[in-house]
Structure 1
């Protein structure tokens, strides 16, 4: 259980290999940034974590002091998380990023991230796609759409560079750059509108 912190970061992730770094990322955000971290996952990412990360979802819950969420809450259920001061969506897969840009909110984390645009929540995302997916025309369109709506997309020089299809786990996923970008967008907004985790969609 973490001690109370004044700022809350929603750390969202979809199913790509860097999702297995989440425990270390939570600890870095808590220690360096003093963030109160809430972890949200796509359903597939939640299955990956439960089956492939030491401690599984329970380990992340113990580390953050909050439930890990991968589904929308039922009508009438109270919010399980405090309001967000910022969102980091990383890794964001081809499917998640395109769904977000197109406003397709079947996934809880995509729905909250889409809602955050309208609420003015400082949001950073780091894609995780291979070069074959990156050549699909919709991917560049989605990156530009999110950027035009105020999302910081760390893709290209200084961010995520796609690896060739079939080459295995991407090396050097830019977690440090991502956390630094979160600090940058928060410090650049004096009175950001605060989000809730209601996930109404």
Structure 2
């Protein structure tokens, strides 16, 4: 079975992660779910159900040195939603968050990785967001930002998150 790490930051689309897991599983993926600490807090009441759904522990913290890895090796990674904080931390290799550390290493390990930001237009106006997107793309990460991916909305505005584009892209990259 092909293993995907599905990572999410604390942005509203993270509340749809159970549907995304089921979609990935229907395509034959073994899904391991990782969350930023804030996203894990947002989903704290659902973590047990998500662990049952995936068959793996949901991770939001680094394991201690010497502890065995609880997940199989990843064949691909989908990081969505990615907040401005996680996106910029990743591009700058600031790896205090477990999921950011894993995706930072994925570049050097050659693991196909897809990211889809979820930032509003106020964050998108900050020049670091575009620099981070460009830098991650330069490093080989497929970033779905702009036409065909996520397009920033106004602060407080809710639009459907383009999950299907992210799922289709990571599936195509790993196939």
TM-score, structure 2 normalization: 0.98
Tell me whether 1:104 sits opposite 2:94 in the alignment. Answer: yes
In 1, distance between residues paired with 2:94 and 2:83? 14
SS class of match (2:85): helix
In 2, distance between residues paired with 1:102 and 1:184? 27
Among candidates 23, 43, 49, match of residue 49 of structure 1: 43
Distance apart, 1:105 and its partner CA? 0.2
In 1, distance between residues paired with 2:128 and 2:70? 34
Q: Quote the RMSD (CA, aligned, Å).
A: 0.7
Tell me whether 1:62 sits opposite 2:57 in the alignment. Answer: no
Tell me whether 1:17 sits opposite 2:12 in the alignment. Answer: yes
Which position in structure 2 is the counterpart of 1:116?
106
Which position in structure 1 is the counterpart of 2:84?
94
In 1, distance between residues paired with 2:160 and 2:35? 21
Distance apart, 1:171 and its partner CA? 1.2
In 1, distance between residues paired with 2:156 and 2:160? 17
Distance apart, 1:165 and its partner CA? 1.5
Which position in structure 1 is the counterpart of 2:132?
142
Which position in structure 2 is the counterpart of 1:199?
none
TM-score, structure 1 normalization: 0.86
Structure 1 gaps, min length 5: 1-5, 188-201
Q: Residues 161-191 of structure 1, C-alpha deviation per residue, up to 9 Å, x if partnerless?
A: 1111133xx312111110100012113xxxx
The number of equivalent residue pairs is: 175
SS class of match (2:172): helix
Structure 2 gaps, min length 5: none
Q: Residues 45-102 of structure 1, C-alpha deviation per residue, up to 9 Å, x if partnerless?
A: 0000014xxxx10010000000000000001100010000000000000000000000
Pairing of 1:52-201 with structure 2 (within 5 A): 56-167=46-157, 170-187=158-175
Distance apart, 1:34 and its partner CA? 0.4
